[in-house]
Amino acid sequence: MKFLTSSLFFLLLVFGQARAQNSVKPLPPLPSTKQEEWHDMEFYLFAHFGPNTFTNLEWGQGTEQEDIFNPTALDCRQWCRIAKAAGAKGIIITAKHHDGFCLWPSKYSAHTVAQSKWRNGRGDVIRELKEACKEYGLKMGIYLSPWDRNHPKYGTAAYNDVFVNMMKEVVDRYGPFFEFWWDGANGEGPNGKKMIYDWKKFKLTLKMMAPNTVVFSDIGPDIHWVGNESGLAGKTNWSLLDTAGFQPGIGAPSTDTLNRGNENGHVWLPAECDVSIRPGWFYHKEEDSAVKTPTQLFGLYLKSVGRNSTLLLNVPPDRRGLYTAFDSAALMGFKELRDQSFAYSLARKKGTKITTALHIETKNLTDKNAQTYLSLGTNYNSNPIEIKFREPEIVNCIVLQEPTRMGQRIRSFTVEVLGDEGTSIYKVDATTIGHKRILSFPKQLASRIRITITDSKAIPLLGELDVFKIDDSLVEKD
């Protein structure tokens, strides 16, 4: 009788779980298609280039003579060839930084490549990059700083129209872009005045002209700044943010909020991690010996892409208009480390079995599609996932993904490494998953790995699960 009662209880539990699987509803807010496509890119490059490259400054004054810009061997194809080889998916270029100098011949400024001696005033960096990106199958993005330390109308209401016209110009001539980058900096113009930016007008312009382009600022409207320029997302990182009452720049939320997001935020607004491969953002010869190493870049990857963000890595061209051998070598080494580390998932190894306590089908966890998922039901705390290896395996890295089309749900989870007798030999607690969460830890000899969702905003869903053995030197230290 006890056996029949237990069997009936189990069948009812499984039946209830099956119903829960079929009744799962999306948990708003949800990402748009363009936000999903952007997040899937994961890693792409920034190219800070302009008069600062030649003056050795980070922020130009706006008074630099146009002839200062004179790259002797500009080759955007070289940038793209290196970016492609490094596994980057695109390049965002500083078409206009705070000094106001335009890397394209704009009709709305007298401080552009057209006024320089470079290529006798007929050069166009943005055009050349567009053609090179197309040749190498890369996406192109544009950075346009609203601050302009050169334009005579800056500081007056008329400048808002100037900036709108510049946006229209670059979109019309060089688009489509995968990302449009607004810097929130706001200082004085040549007349000593600061601007009151018409952000509403700026947003409406891009929404009308470039509806498939994600727009970046401290508060979006599509993606937001992570709150630092070190390339570090929060260990807790929600793709949700509350933006009402905030503005880009000094009116943005606190850096801590930007770094973590808002658990119950009303807008889907994931974070982007921007960081430079060098100490500065523009090229400085004295920094040739200070380029980040492949190991340092891999660490940044774990703390950006591995924490539900993307990695926007700045690689500045030098005064020739080329990526240096120092930067290129670091990028190739970074690519090699990623390839070696994530080439083969032990979760997909023949003989490995992935099960749940309620015996739910787990094939969606290894189908290489994060949007197909396993539902762990309302009793998720007592329904852990177990990865059982045919023979004990050395492991030190777990990768998890949520199906973000269904919303970001999971608040916290544990990963437990089990030995031969099923005893726990290592345990780590973590928060949030989102698009991708990479957890690395000291290497362990595991017979099984148990993953338990400990808290979730709604029925927890997992899209992908992978297990790796990476080099010990690459394991996250903090």
- Rounded to 5°, angle at Cα 249 from 37 and 56: 90
Superfamily of domain 33-341: Glycosidases (3.20.20.80)
The answer to whether residue 190 scores a pLDDT higher than 60 is yes
The answer to whether residue 402 scores a pLDDT higher than 50 is yes
Q: In which band, very low, low, confident or very high, does the pLDDT at 2 lie, cut at 50, 70 and 90?
A: very low
Amino acid 421: pLDDT: 83
Structure tokens belonging to residue 57? 């400054």
* Ranges in the chain annotated CATH 3.20.20.80: 33-341
Amino acid 18: pLDDT: 47
Mean pLDDT of 455-464: 98
Give the model confidence (pLDDT) of 196-208 as tens digits.
999 999 999 999 9
Amino acid 20: pLDDT: 47
CB-CB contact of 269 with 224 (8 Å): yes
* Ranges in the chain annotated CATH 2.60.120.260: 344-474
Q: In which band, very low, low, confident or very high, does the pLDDT at 22 lie, cut at 50, 70 and 90?
A: low
pTM above 0.85, yes or no: yes
Amino acid 423: pLDDT: 92
Mean pLDDT of 10-26: 58
**CATH number corresponding to 344-474:** 2.60.120.260
